[in-house]
């Protein structure tokens, strides 16, 4: 049973427990729930971590900005064409130090996700990010990027506007910056869309975040012509924080509660702030 299936069943059990007055039945249901919890969170697979990284209840970039930084001043536009809501960036203060913060923005609701394109940036978003990074270089501000995207938007218009060039330019330009750069993968770290903000001096990952060249579903579709083998693909891809830390690709991990982060999680902000 996958973690998602287990959580669905746990929600059903919670509803049944609330609806019954029979003490024996409540006891039986609670026992089933406890057993399921132990099984579900006792052995989390790579694809379970993909599921946790994608959960809509997981804190997003705005949550980290609001709780780690102060005096955040958001800046808009790439000064070439338009603003891209899928990338948020600006100047903030971290314990009195001026920094530039940039991240992928996902919404909490359908309307918010439609506005920010489900966290999939267009070229204008990457050009906005590069503009802010060059500004940070000019004024000697450290750069912190927060990564949470399934990937750059693959639409026709974004390709016509130079998606590949925008990503490649960010990779090249970030490699020349002399100010410190820390990138933190807080959820999904998908493909070049993630890499375009994560050429950094230090790369950190949350325990249930993932970082890979493409999604497990995409990997399975290309390799086996069968997206249903995504769970198998996730194991082969070595995309979890533990996999990447063991291989020296990321520098630090931040632990999470067994069920992953949610809107009630608080300690993660303090731990990241003090890192």
pLDDT on residue 26: 82
Alpha carbons 143 and 164: distance in angstroms, whole number: 23
163-196 pLDDT per residue, tens: 999 999 999 999 999 999 999 999 999 999 999 9
Percent pLDDT > 90 in the chain is 76
What is the model's pTM?
0.89
Sequence ranges of the domains in the chain: 3-43, 56-273
CATH class of 56-273: alpha beta
57-95 pLDDT per residue, tens: 899 999 999 999 999 999 999 999 999 999 999 999 999
232-255 pLDDT per residue, tens: 999 999 999 999 999 999 999 999
34-59 pLDDT per residue, tens: 877 777 777 789 999 999 999 988 99
């Amino acid at each position: 049973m996958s973690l998602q299936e287990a959580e669905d069943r746990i929600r059903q059990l919670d509803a049944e427990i609330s609806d019954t007055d029979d003490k024996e039945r409540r006891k039986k249901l609670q026992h089933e729930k406890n057993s399921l919890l132990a099984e579900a969170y006792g052995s989390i697979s790579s694809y379970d971590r993909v599921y946790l990284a994608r959960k809509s209840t997981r804190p997003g970039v705005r949550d980290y900005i609001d709780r780690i930084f102060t005096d955040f001043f958001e800046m808009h536009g790439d000064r070439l064409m338009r603003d891209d809501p899928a990338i948020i960036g600006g100047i903030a203060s971290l314990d009195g130090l001026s920094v530039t913060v940039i991240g992928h923005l996902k919404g909490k609701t359908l309307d918010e996700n439609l506005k920010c394109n489900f966290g999939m940036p267009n070229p204008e978003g990457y050009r906005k990010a590069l503009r802010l990074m060059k500004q940070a270089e000019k004024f000697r501000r450290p750069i912190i990027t927060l990564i949470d995207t399934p990937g750059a938007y693959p639409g026709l218009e974004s390709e016509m506007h130079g998606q590949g060039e925008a990503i490649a330019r960010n990779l090249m330009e970030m490699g020349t910056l002399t100010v410190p750069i820390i990138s933190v993968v807080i959820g999904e770290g998908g493909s070049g869309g993630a890499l375009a903000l994560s050429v950094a001096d230090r790369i950190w990952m949350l325990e249930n975040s993932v970082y890979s060249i493409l999604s497990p579903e995409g990997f399975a579709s290309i390799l086996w012509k069968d997206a249903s083998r995504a769970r198998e693909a996730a194991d082969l891809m070595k995309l979890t924080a533990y996999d990447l830390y063991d291989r020296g690709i990321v520098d630090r991990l931040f632990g999470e509660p067994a069920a992953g982060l949610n809107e009630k999680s608080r300690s993660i902000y303090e731990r990241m702030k003090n890192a």
